[in-house]
Every structure is written in C-alpha cells, then in structure tokens.
Amino acid sequence: MKAEVDPSLIVYFGGQYVPLGEARVGILTHALHYGTGVFEGIRAFWDEAGQELFAMRPLEHYERWKQNCGILRIDVPPSPVELCEITVELMRKNAFRTDAYIRPLAYKSAERIGVCPDDEDAFAVVALPYGDYLHSDRGLHASVSPWRRIEDNAIPARAKICGAYVNSGLASDEARRSGFDEAILLNESGHVAEGATCNIFMVRKGRLITPPVTENVLEGITRDSVMELARRELGLEVVERAIDRSELYVCEELFFTGTAVGIAPVVRVDHRPVRDGEIGTAARRMQQVYFDATRGHLPDYRKWLMPVYRSRKTPERDAIPFSGSGDQKADQPGRIAGAQ
C-alpha cells in the first residue's frame, strides 16, 4: 500500500464519517508507543459484469477482530453486524467501483506515558481502492527467514496485534533486501509457520497440507475458504499437520493465502525450484475458483459475500441477498484484477 492516499477519502473515525485528513491521533497515544492495537484486513471485490462490489466474509472478519481485541482488553462497542453496516456505508460514501481493502483498527487510545494499558479504547475503519499486494503472475521466490515466528506465550500470532507485526516487518524487510519476494517464518519448534503476511499451503503426494492453528499462525479466513474450496471444488484431501523446513524443498506445490495476497503461488524457495519451478495445477485451479467465488460467480459461495450497492442488508451467512452476475473470468490467472 505504497501509493499516496487521497486525504478527502471518507473514513470512519470517532463514531463519524470524516475525511481522512481530519482523522488524527495524538503523539502520546498508547498504541503508537507500545503497539497496543488490533487490526483487520478485509477485501471487497468489484465484479465488472454484475456492476457490484462484494465484501468478502466481513462478518467472520469482524467476529475475529472482536475476539482478538478481547486478548488485549480493547472494547469495540458495535456488534459484528453493525460493523458490517458501517463498512458498507463507508464504501458507498466513497463510491468505490474497484477492488478495495478495508482496514479496521482498534487501539489503546490514552495519551500518557506508561506501558500498562488502561481502559481508554478507540477504533476506526478505513477503506481504500486496492489492487495486488504481491505480484505473483509468474510465481514467487520465497526464503526461509532467519527471524522466528513469535510464540503464543510472547505475543499471540493468531491475533492481528499491531506490535506483533514488527516480527512480520523484520522478516519481509530481510527477504526483500536479499532479493526474495516474501519470507517464510519457522516457529520456535523449527516447523514452518506461515509467510510474513499470509498462510502457507503445500501439496505433497497429492494432498493439500497446511500447519494447524496451534503452530503460531494467524487463523486466516482465506486459509479457511481455501480449505473448503479445495475439498469441495478441487476434490483434494486437506490435512492440517506440522511441516518441516525441508519439505518445502521436496513438495510438489507451494502457495500463500491471505486477504491481501489472495492465492499466491511460490515457485522457488531458498534458490531451489518447487518441483519444476512452474506454477502448479492446484494453485492455478485454486486461483480461478477463488476468483469466481469472490466475484459472486459461484452460487454455493455467495454465503461469503456482502453486496455493497444492491442491498445494504448485512450477511446472515446462508441468507445473503444476491442476484447473479455475468460470466467474467480472471483475465490473468495469478493476478487479482488491480485497482484503478
């Protein structure tokens, strides 16, 4: 997210919709000094054929956010359903007709020195036009990071705690400066945990394998979607088990998943090709089915989507207002349509 953001963008801050330029926090804000915030990342996908913007699993994201805020004792008063309504309204006010990224942030807001947090909390929701996070059209070259994934007993990796992202930042900075696209972090047991900002899947002997949520990983919502799509649409057996580092070098396929990255194939790890160094069949098929599901082209997965313009009603998991859209296909497999 390196592009300049328009200061007239409307954001939700202090309980109101205000221009981004007016959403400011003080220099002594607790979260700024001590990392005591919890954020979320939600995608909205524009379907050109149906002229609709779909928020992807916003209810699950807000449920996870509120749960994770509880770990830091941050209170976010609105319910997940009310937060979905705020989000839809925000995108309508900004009149987005492109892929977007939604960034809710809750934080310890007291303006005083002292590490022990008190009970002053605040939250904001920002939505931005947003295209690719990683350019994975030809597959990524990843490296195993010298940095280890944070332990649950230090800072829980399952929550998107602001301070914890120093760990991801160190790992991805190291990887990029060394010429790689993304870092893979091992946990303190030496097992593969995840990418710096994404979960990881490998194909071995025809089975799709990902580390369980007890391996110090974020409990990814894309991870969950991919497991369901793999079983139901690709007919793959999905296994959650610990992954050794050296399995990365002998597997048949490897890919990252996440709200920002989507489905991002990895074709080289630590200068070794994954199989033949080309994007594999499972990753390609998963990219296509994920694209179709997130643009509302697959009726079975409309349960995940909240339309922004056709209805302001919030999702009730299995009863989401929807009328189908056209037959748009991913013009470039491996690439989520970019924001304009």
Ligand X SMILES: Cc1ncc(COP(=O)(O)O)c(C=O)c1O
307 in contact with ligand X (CB under 6 A): no
Q: Which two tokens stand for residue 292?
A: 């179709």
Q: In the complex with ligand X, which residue's Cβ is closer, 192 or 218?
A: 218
Binding string to ligand X for residues 256 to 295, with x set by CB under 6 A, is what?
Answer: -xxxx-----------------------------------
Task: Based on the shown chain and the rule CB under 6 A, indicate whether residue 199 belongs to the binding site for ligand X.
Answer: yes
CB of 130 to ligand X, least distance (A): 13
**Strand, coil or helix: 149:** coil
Q: Please give the structure tokens belonging to residue 182.
A: 């993304």
Q: List the one residue out of 111, 26, 28, 38 whose CA is nearest residue 75.
A: 38
Annotated active-site residue 160? The verdict is yes
Burial of residue 208 (number of CB atoms within 10 Å: 0-12, 13-18, 19+): buried
What tokens appear for 320 in the block?
């989401």
Shortest separation between residue 183's beta carbon and ligand X, angstroms: 10
Query: Which of 2, 66, 108, 160 is an active site residue?
Result: 160
**Is 162 near ligand X (CB under 6 A)?**
no
- Establish if 222 lies at the interface with ligand X (CB under 6 A): yes
Q: How many other CB atoms are found less than 10 A from the CB of residue 128? A: 20
- Rounded to an integer, what distance in angstroms lies between the CA atom of residue 232 and that of residue 114? 51
Site string for ligand X, 98-137 (x = CB under 6 A): ----------------------------------------
| Amino acid sitting at position 324 | G
Instruction: Kindly state the smallest distance separating residue 224's Cβ from ligand X, in Å.
Output: 8
Distances (CA, A) of 263 to 75, 88, 99, 106, 222: 32, 25, 16, 27, 9
230 interacts with ligand X by CB under 6 A = no
How many binding residues for ligand X (CB under 6 A)?
15
Residue of 168, 210, 216, 287 that binds ligand X (CB under 6 A): 168
3-state SS of 7-60 is CCCEEEECCEEEEHHHCCCCCCEHHHHHCCEEECCEEEEEECCCCEEEEECHHH
Region of 17-25, 100-108, 214-222, 304-312 interacting with ligand X (CB under 6 A): 214-222
**Residue 330 and residue 295: Cα distance in Å, rounded?**
10
Quote the least distance from Cβ 264 to ligand X, whole Å.
Answer: 11
41, 80, 262, 315: which one binds ligand X (CB under 6 A):
41
Question: Which residues contact ligand X by CB under 6 A?
Answer: 41, 168, 194, 197-199, 218, 220-223, 257-260
Q: Give catalytic residue positions.
A: 160
